[in-house]
Homo-oligomer: A and B are copies of this chain.
Amino acid sequence: MSRSLNIAVIPGDGIGQEVVAQGLKVLSAVLPQDVKVETTPYDLGAQRWHRTGETLPDADLDALKGHDAILLGAIGDPSVPSGVLERGLLLKLRFAFDHYINLRPSKLFPNTATPLAGQPEIDFVVVREGTEGPYTGNGGSLRTGTPAEVATEVSVNTAYGVERVVRDAFERAAARPRKKLTLVHKNNVLVYAGHLWKNTFDRVAAEYPQVTTDYLHVDAATIFFVTQPERFDVIVTDNLFGDILTDLAAAVTGGIGLAASGNINPTGAFPSMFEPVHGSAPDIAGTGKADPTATILSVALLLRHLGFEAEAARIEEAVSADLAERDGTFRTTDEIGDALAVRVAS
């Protein structure tokens, strides 16, 4: 019986194209011969918008639905007004495909430079809510551009949305050796949303007596990220706090060149989408300086999501070994991709 994977690829803007090429290279290299990979590129991002004014038309959205998963490079270009591609393409995908788990592992690999002194042990995963909070686009502006302007942003939080991500996080924590889950919010100020999160968390916690839990305000959490990152195992948090914390987490674990992420719909109703945490970095596009490792680690998350656990682990081990043996010499995007493709194939 031969299996096949049907992957949609959105290279996007800037370095997106380059890093995605390496991700696909490693994907082909790691899979057994009998698994056929079909990839379909989607022309979405700044160029498409300049050409047609479209960000994500219904036809593309419908076509994307037919794939097993989506691999995305990076979205965004200075030539496009801020928010157009983010809201009209990236967040539209996350919301349309109900990616309520935004999964972002943070691991400090051996031989990897961290800005922190003393090379702490870091190995945690942030389960960021992906479909609610201040990301819903609710809000508006009245008397725009006048001295009397009022602009609002509404964070929307539902019991439905909070409970499903909290449950997912408890499952992930229960499956890890340390079995620890930290809720991060700001419930001393954002009392309505904060109480919904905290009450839901406490209620679900009762079903997982084996999981140790605690709570941190988001401001305090940033302190621990730099003073005691080893205290974290699994973190569950809202969409905006998760956005902020995972960039900080990437920074302390060697930079966004290594940070992978998955936008996951665990029900399988829609394809999940995997992307590096970094942006499109137009300043280095085409120079061969982009590190494709974050995309390659995102491919590992993609494989794990589709049931290829052994292959996912092989990629992660290859990255770990590759970083450990690194000697500081500059390697191009291509060279890193090649090195990892060779490692996973052997």
Contact = CB atoms under 8 A, between A and B. Distances in A.
B226 A244 contact: no
A186 interface: yes
A139 B82 contact: no
A148 interface: yes
Interface size class of chain A, counting residues whose CB lies under 8 Å from the partner chain = 35 or more
Interface in A141-168: 141, 143, 145-160, 163
A150 B157 contact: yes
A55 to B, nearest CB: 13
Interface string A74-106: 001000001100110001000000000000000
A247 B226 contact: no
A223 B247 contact: yes
A188 B157 contact: no
A309 B267 CA distance: 62
A189 B248 contact: no
B256 A153 contact: no
Nearest to A159: B149
Given A194-B82, A248-B223, A155 B141 contact: no
Contact of A193 (B145, B147, B153): B153
Interface string A198-217: 11000000000000000000
Interface in A225-262: 225-227, 240, 243-244, 246-248, 250-252, 255-256
A205 to B, nearest CB: 16
A146 B134 contact: no
Contact of A115 (B150, B220, B227): B227
Contacts of A243: 186, 189, 218-219
A116 interface: yes
A306 interface: no
A244 B247 contact: no
A114 interface: yes
The 4 lowest CB-CB distance pairs between A and B, nearest first, are A219-B247, A149-B159, A222-B248, A83-B191
17 contacts: A76-B188, A87-B188, A115-B117, A116-B117, A134-B134, A139-B155, A143-B159, A147-B159, A150-B157, A150-B158, A151-B196, A153-B190, A154-B155, A222-B222, A222-B251, A223-B250, A223-B256
Given A151-B157, A220-B247, A223-B256, 15 more contacts: A83-B189, A115-B227, A116-B117, A117-B118, A139-B154, A141-B192, A146-B159, A147-B159, A148-B158, A150-B156, A151-B193, A152-B156, A189-B240, A222-B251, A223-B255
